[in-house]
Structure 1
Amino acid sequence: MNLTHVVNNAMKAFRQNVPEYVGAGVVDISTGMLLAVDTIDNHPRDILDVVAAATADLFQGRTVLQIEELWKQNRGVVDNRRYFHEILVNSEHLVHLFMRSKTNPDIVAVVICTRHVNVGMLFAQARSVMRELEGG
């Protein structure tokens, strides 16, 4: 199965399984490119592209990379492992969950829900879909 097919299946699964779903996307943070998006509302493409770029900054912005390098130095770690895997952002009306793939650290899924979501259920359902996206 190719990446496009797997990503499209993940978009469907996020919509079906994540409570209080508003939208989801998959971003290749090595390029900042939005690989797929699904929302219950129409959003202008330029806004979606900026969200993709912001996702890349969240996981590999200059200061984030500095923090990771300092932790590696402090702990004597010499591999290229990334420390930040999931980031939860609460905005005024929405909850945004950013999840980095364990099998391909350049792939990040973003799931957006209303503020009424049970955060535990959001994590459980979104992680389940991520396991499918990762092939395991």
Structure 2
Amino acid sequence: MSDLDNAMQQAISTIPECLAGGYVDLSSGMLLGIKTVDSHPEEVLEMLAAATADLFQGPNVVSIENMFKKARGLPLDDFHYFQEIIVNSENLIHVFMRTKENQDHVVTFVCRKTANLGMVITKARAALPKVEAAL
């Protein structure tokens, strides 16, 4: 896992005002890797994988994905329609991105809200292939 740790650390250092990064396997519900610049309560880290799964695979999300795919004439079970989810909280930007090779893997980055959102997304997208390849 040191390759994943190194890739996450490198990604965090290139994404503007990034405070943390995590790698989640939706199929197992496991947090496979995490790097932070600060300590966080264990309860928060334990819930990250479950919350990420809810964001991407909750029943309402899956229903909406299927409605979009049906409206566009796409197969219902071939792929996931939602690839990225951005959540803005009071002080933070949370970026969740499905990996390209494994649709059940999601990489997440957390940045200060003062960061330029466009640069956060651009740098996170650029970092994704290296993080994904490290696993």
**Normalising by structure 2, what TM-score?**
0.90
Cα offset, 1:27, TM superposition? 0.4
Identical columns (%): 45
SS of 1:41 mapped into structure 2: coil
SS of 2:7 mapped into structure 1: helix
Moved beyond 6 Å, runs of 4+: none
1:22 has 2:19 as partner: yes
Cα offset, 1:69, TM superposition? 1.5
**Partner Cα separation in structure 2 for residue 114 and residue 103 of structure 1:** 28
The one-letter code of the counterpart of 1:46 is: E
**Partner Cα separation in structure 2 for residue 6 and residue 65 of structure 1:** 32
Tell which deviates more after alignment, 126-135 or 106-115.
Answer: 126-135
Cα offset, 1:52, TM superposition? 1.4
Contact 1:10–1:130 (CA under 8 A) maintained in structure 2: no
User: How many correspondences in the alignment?
Assistant: 132
Aligned to 2:126: 128
1:32 has 2:25 as partner: no
Contact 2:69–2:81 (CA under 8 A) maintained in structure 1: no
Aligned to 1:105: 103
Contact 2:85–2:96 (CA under 8 A) maintained in structure 1: yes
SS of 1:71 mapped into structure 2: helix
For structure 2, the 5+ residue unaligned runs are none
SS of 1:81 mapped into structure 2: coil
Picking from 84, 87, 90, the partner of 1:86 is 84
For structure 1, the 5+ residue unaligned runs are none
Q: Deviations over 1:83-110 (max 9, x none)?
A: 1111111100111000111111111011
Cα offset, 1:114, TM superposition? 0.4
